[in-house]
Amino acid sequence: MKKRKTKKSLVPLYLTIGGGLLLIVTAILLATQNAPAAPTPASASHEEETYPEIPRASLEEAKAALDADNAVIVDVRSAEAYAGGHIAGALNIPLAELESRLGELDKAQWIITYCT
């Protein structure tokens, strides 16, 4: 008696390969969809200020004026943020209180405020 050769079906192999490729493509799409956007450089964010009419002081200008006792630095963040770290010598007057506490500041000095 002769053995009959049976032809193996390739359908399961094609389904396995196709399913694997589909999983790989799906993983790539999900990974790129949730990728964070590139951060904006700090210099670019300062260029696009909300209030361009307000003059800005460079770090060097502010430090020189403070060292010469020609300026007062005012941290307008909350007391908690101020306690977490601030410029040495800066006063803390939260922004919500600034208008009512302007009398505490020497108007003859350059008043430099910051919030970051």
pLDDT score for 35: 60
User: What's the CA gap between 30 and 35, in Å, rounded?
Assistant: 9
Count Cα neighbours of 28 within 13 Å in the Cβ-side half-sphere. Answer: 6
Banded model confidence at residue 78, pLDDT cuts 50, 70, 90:
very high
pLDDT score for 13: 81
Residues facing 71 on adjacent strands = 110
Q: Among 74, 80, 77, which residue's Cα sits nearest to residue 57?
A: 74
Average pLDDT, the chain: 82
Q: Is the pLDDT of residue 3 over 70?
A: no
User: 13-55, pLDDT tens digit by residue?
Assistant: 888 888 888 888 888 888 777 666 666 555 555 555 677 888 8
pLDDT score for 32: 79
- Alpha carbon 29 to its chain centroid, in Å, reads 25
Per cent of the chain over pLDDT 90 is 34
Q: Provide the residue ranges of all domains of the chain, joining segments of one domain with +.
A: 56-114
Q: Is the pLDDT of residue 61 over 70?
A: yes
User: What's the CA gap between 97 and 113, in Å, rounded?
Assistant: 13
Higher pLDDT, 14 or 2: 14
User: What is the CATH code for 56-114?
Assistant: 3.40.250.10
Q: What is the dihedral of CA 94, 98, 100, 104, to 10 degrees?
A: 100
pLDDT score for 26: 86
